[in-house]
Structure 1
């Protein structure tokens, strides 16, 4: 029986060229404008603060648009993703932009072994990353292992309540687990979350939700000090995605 990573990796490998070509990732704008930053990082700036001169790592970086945005802000960035095509593109994009990027293909749970313990001033992870992981406590221990003393985690994630909803004609129904459970929610769908006419061939994904309290508790149990929480009333994805195109974005 295939591991959940086999299903998810095949799906994300196939998404890479689709996302690179989509206008939603703004690759051409990165190349044309030396000051351009991803919409995700622009939104995060008021809370992220000054990262210039800091050593950071972006976990589950996908094609690297947020990672190179942080590098453009002066951070010395590493990047990690389980998709080799995604890392290949992240390296290529950084090179074309004249930026240094230390990029690695690895599962996020192996990040300390691959990147080195206590090596980073900050860990960055963005929207739609945690749903691909079955164990939030194990993830938090990885984050803690990567950080230098005094280092910090910056996490911006889709609200777990959103992931528990099934859209209806007039309302959304709570249909899926809000809290982390052992068994994944298995999705079948050929779409993705960007503007494209292409249909994916690898359509099975395995996902897990993690309740807000579970995420906070996991970070605290890993030895980090939880210091702030903001809940937003918007998300950069459909609030109620179609049943045949479910799946959190990254």
Structure 2
């Protein structure tokens, strides 16, 4: 929880965030249901949800046989679920510890994947080739200060006719006071260019604590997210808003079949996620 905003430069913020995400790797290796992937039919809950929304917009209605670039892939459970669904996958993340964990998991499961260590804002220069699908989900772009640059990487990675998919926490949700006893706003919905400072030893998964608690995140309204993609030359195909999350944003949230949601009387008052599907123009 924080009310502090700062004009911190990107390199300093990135270094602090990287330390935090490196600390999360061993905690998430224990907290994620990684052993479930030992079942060759198993896909992560995130990917099962995303494929249901995405595949109607893909040629042939499947990711099977497609070249897929997963941005901000963390320890690879979702990347490898896409591989298990038949995609040729490249996972991109700035955390070397996360990618080492992902590579070990891929080897254990006998799944092929390429792993690239880079900032998502430098992805086009670091990743070889182009892709039928660029995928990112979930809890991603609040870590980035520059959405125009982000969208430019996506457009550059996609081949002509390729599809972009994102599901993420809704900007309206991130304006809510997560610790209040009622649903009320606390943080700015509209970004002001400054980073929001967080000091939190916990993570969104498991009970462990990180050694490097300070992180920096940026607010981006829905208009900025959509317009960054449009300005990068992508055509918006679909926008959805959801009532559930794959993590417990607030202690007041209740567990439901596909994640967590606000208590029933409040469920229609505040969106939890947004989904955007976009396409790069064909040749």
TM-score clears 0.5: yes
The one of 9, 13, 17 aligned to 1:4: 13
**Contact 1:185-1:207 within 8 A present in 2 as well:** yes
The one of 166, 169, 181 aligned to 1:155: 166
Tell me the equivalent position of 1:166: 177
Q: Secondary structure at the match of 1:160?
A: coil
Per-residue deviation, 1:168: 4.8
The one of 77, 91, 94 aligned to 1:82: 94
Tell me the equivalent position of 1:139: 150
Count the aligned residue pairs: 237
Cα separation, 1, equivalents of 2:179 and 2:92: 37
Q: Which runs of 4+ in 1 moved over 6 A?
A: none
Cα separation, 2, equivalents of 1:101 and 1:168: 39
**Contact 2:205-2:247 within 8 A present in 1 as well:** no
Per-residue deviation, 1:19: 0.2
Gaps of 5+ in 1: 243-250
Tell me the equivalent position of 1:208: 218
State TM-score, norm by structure 2.
Answer: 0.81
Per-residue deviation, 1:239: 4.0
Tell me the equivalent position of 1:236: 246
Per-residue deviation, 1:177: 2.0
1:70 lines up with 2:76 in the alignment: no
1:27 lines up with 2:34 in the alignment: yes
Q: Secondary structure at the match of 2:242?
A: coil
Cα separation, 2, equivalents of 1:148 and 1:169: 45
Moved more, 102-111 or 177-186: 177-186
**Contact 2:30-2:206 within 8 A present in 1 as well:** no
Per-residue deviation, 1:241: 5.5
Tell me the equivalent position of 1:247: none
CA displacement 1:9-51 (0-9 Å, x = unmatched): 00000000000011xx1111112x0111100001112112110
Q: Secondary structure at the match of 2:239?
A: coil
**Contact 1:179-1:214 within 8 A present in 2 as well:** no
